[in-house]
């Protein structure tokens, strides 16, 4: 088939974002506290993005035990370790050249790991086959996305490659598109319908882009990041039909697939739906799906590993994808091994099964509780509304800010939600993400990660609530004398 992808080697730097500026401010405040500066709080709590273990969530014992044994094989003789841990470590070491995690691997990842991923996808999709040669392991899902975007990008001006992107997007997506020199074409998600994807809005965005750029792909986040929306089968089928009609590549971010907790809600992969449609779609629509170790409930962000599966893609393009991954030599081996453990966990009868099940269920229970509890409290605040999340790790409340605050932000040349986050950080030591996405006039949001310990979230909500009440009614006597000024 004629592929939608072409090779484009150009690279451009990433601009400074509001997230970076807030991170810098958080670091400054933390340093001030360490040097003895008087603050009304003891520490900065960062819930702006997912990093569960930094927030205090505990790692999964099985994963750490196996990785420790792979790093220090003498532990194979340690009688205190479960037998299945040692057996798994042995198999993984055998898959490494020289029997060591210190060896290089193929740029697309260890074949053993790619086989495990393919088997996982086949199980997940109820028998829809997946093949190791279609799996590419990378140093996180963003790295894999960057490879695809650089292959996709070409042209200048009205022929420049464009990608339809959701509003709001994952907060790192704009910078990735910018570095790949790809034009974003925003399509708005329907906040009033729980951030649902609207097919007519996709068509509108596509029509508006014609003549000023060349749309060649649709980026989908499902489950939604940061919205927590989960697409149903019909919605997915509609998007696939549109992609087929317009010859658009589907780029599907499915990193929160194991974090679905909404009632009567389930994750169905784009690939499964595609292969259950007529052959005219199943055999022609090009699809790339992404998953990441960082964004799963096990939260191993620092191990830096993810993967993409490509479907219906020209072998020549796949060769170029592999070649571009060679610039990284290979994904860190410990991350690759952790991917294997993610997709192939202990099963009933294994020594580690009960502990693994208890630990993962506790994490999921914490996430579910925090998402529901956070939604309730944020929705009760004046001037704030919040759609319930069905999946993922974020809440994404909307701010209805007084006119004087919006005017002050405009005079300072910043977005009102960025100014809100800055003041919240300075006065309460709470670091939330600014949800400004440039797509809707007067729309301001916050991004708040809830995959944190319960007591941490309670502290965050108490501080945020106190700040917000002072902001909305500075003379109303809300039980605190701390001053909020804009």
Using one digit for the tens of pLDDT, what is the confidence trace for 364-423?
A: 999 999 999 999 999 999 999 999 999 999 999 999 988 888 888 888 888 899 999 999
Mean pLDDT of the chain, nearest integer: 89
**Whether residue 307 is found in the same domain as residue 392:** no
- Give the residue from 343, 377, 405 where a domain finishes: 343
Residue 33 is part of which domain span? Answer: 18-57+356-472
216: phi then psi, degrees, rounded to nearest 5? -130, 0
For residues 262 and 387, state if they share a domain: no
pLDDT for position 315: 80
pTM of the full structure: 0.90
Residue 77 resides in a domain: no
For position 21, what pLDDT does the model report? Answer: 86
Residues 390 and 441 in one domain: yes
Q: What is the mean pLDDT of residues 267-278?
A: 97
Is the bond into 168 cis (omega within 30 degrees of 0)? yes
**Contact assessment for residue 181 and residue 153, using Cβ atoms and an 8 Å cutoff:** yes
Share of the chain above pLDDT 90, in %: 74
Pairing of strands 249-253, 287-292: parallel
Gap between the Cα atoms of 303 and 67, Å rounded:
11
* Residue 107, pLDDT score: 87
Give counts: helices (H), strands (E), the chain. Answer: 17, 14
Is the previous residue joined to 114 through a cis bond, with omega within 30 degrees of 0? no
| pLDDT for 5 beyond 50 | no
- Per the structure, how many domains does the chain have? 2
Spatial contact of 394 and 450, defined as CB atoms under 8 Å apart: yes
CB 99: neighbour CB atoms within 10 A?
14
| DSSP element (H, E) containing 469 | helix 454-472
483 domain-assigned: no
**Choice among 57-71, 163-177, 342-356, 398-412 with the minimum mean pLDDT:** 398-412
Please report whether residue 407 resides in a domain. Answer: yes
Per DSSP, what are the bridge partners of residue 164?
Answer: 185, 218
Contact call for residues 175 and 17 (beta carbons, < 8 A):
yes
Token representation of residue 61: 């014992």
Give tens-digit pLDDT for 21-52: 899 999 999 999 999 898 999 999 999 999 99
Domain boundary among 343, 370, 390: 343
Backbone angles phi, psi at 260, to 5 degrees: -95, 125
| CATH number of 430's domain | 3.90.1150.10
Q: CB-based contacts of 36: which residues, under 8 Å, 6+ apart?
A: none
Q: Are residues 246 and 381 in the same domain?
A: no
Q: Is residue 85 part of a domain?
A: no
Please tell me the distance from the alpha carbon of residue 256 to that of residue 440, in angstroms, as a whole number: 26
Quick one: pLDDT at residue 314? 82
**Lowest model confidence (mean pLDDT) among 26-30, 150-154, 331-335, 343-347:** 150-154
Dist CA 256 CA 344 (whole Å) = 17
Judge whether 287 lies within some domain.
yes
- Residues 265 and 229: their CA atoms lie apart, in Å, by 10
- 241: tokens are 């039909």
Q: Which helix (H) or strand (E) holds 338?
A: helix 333-343
Cα 64 to Cα 164: distance, rounded to the nearest angstrom = 39
Q: Supply angle C-alpha 104, 151, 276, rounded to 5.
A: 90
| 236-252 average pLDDT score | 97
DSSP string, 118-160: HHHHHHHTTT----GGGEEEESSHHHHHHHHHHHH---SGGGS
CA–CA separation, 189 and 197 (whole Å)? 5
> Both 30 and 113 in a single domain?
no
Q: What pLDDT score does 283 carry?
A: 93
Q: How many residues does the chain have?
A: 486
């Amino acid at each position: 088939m004629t592929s939608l992808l072409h090779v484009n080697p150009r690279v451009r730097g990433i601009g400074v974002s509001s997230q970076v500026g807030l991170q810098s401010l958080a670091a400054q405040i933390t340093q001030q506290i360490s040097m003895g500066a008087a603050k009304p709080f003891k520490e900065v709590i960062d819930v702006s993005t997912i990093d569960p273990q930094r927030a205090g969530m505990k790692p999964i014992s099985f994963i750490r035990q196996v990785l420790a044994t792979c790093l220090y094989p003498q532990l194979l003789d340690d009688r205190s370790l479960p037998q299945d841990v040692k057996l798994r470590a042995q198999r993984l070491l055998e898959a490494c050249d020289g029997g060591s995690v210190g060896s290089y691997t193929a740029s697309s990842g260890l074949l053993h790991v790619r086989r495990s991923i393919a088997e996982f996808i086949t199980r997940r999709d109820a028998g829809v086959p997946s093949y190791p040669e279609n799996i590419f392991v990378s140093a996180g899902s963003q790295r894999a996305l960057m490879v695809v975007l650089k292959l996709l990008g070409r042209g200048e001006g009205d022929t420049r490659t464009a990608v339809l992107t959701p509003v709001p997007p994952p907060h790192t997506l704009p910078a990735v598109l910018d570095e790949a020199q790809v034009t974003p074409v925003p399509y708005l998600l329907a906040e009033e319908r729980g951030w649902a994807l609207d097919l007519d809005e996709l068509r509108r965005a596509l029509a508006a882009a014609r003549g000023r750029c060349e749309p060649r792909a649709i980026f989908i986040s499902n489950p939604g990041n940061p919205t927590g929306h989960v697409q149903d089968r019909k919605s997915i089928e509609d998007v696939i039909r549109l992609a087929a009609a317009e010859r658009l590549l589907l780029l599907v971010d499915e990193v929160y697939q194991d974090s679905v907790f909404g009632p009567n809600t389930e994750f169905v992969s784009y690939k499964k739906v595609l292969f259950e449609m007529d052959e005219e779609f199943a055999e022609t629509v090009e699809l790339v799906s992404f998953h990441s170790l960082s964004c799963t409930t096990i939260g191993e962000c620092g191990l830096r590993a993810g993967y993409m599966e490509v479907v219906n893609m020209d072998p020549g393009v796949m060769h170029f994808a592999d070649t571009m991954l060679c610039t990284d030599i290979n994904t860190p081996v410990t991350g690759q091994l952790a991917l294997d453990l993610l997709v192939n966990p202990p099963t009933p009868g294994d020594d580690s099964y009960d502990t693994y099940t208890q630990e993962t269920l506790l994490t999921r229970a914490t996430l579910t509780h925090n998402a529901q509890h956070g939604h309730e409290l944020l929705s009760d605040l004046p001037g704030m509304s919040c759609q319930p999340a069905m999946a993922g790790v974020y809440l994404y409340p909307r701010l209805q800010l007084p006119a004087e605050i919006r005017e002050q932000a405009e005079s300072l040349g910043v977005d009102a939600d960025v100014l809100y986050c800055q003041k919240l950080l300075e006065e309460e030591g709470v670091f939330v993400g600014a949800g400004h996405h440039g797509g809707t006039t007067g729309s301001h949001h916050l991004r708040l990660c809830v995959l944190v310990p319960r007591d941490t979230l309670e502290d965050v909500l108490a501080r945020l609530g106190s700040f917000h009440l002072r902001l909305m009614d500075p003379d109303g006597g809300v039980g605190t004398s701390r001053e909020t000024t804009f």
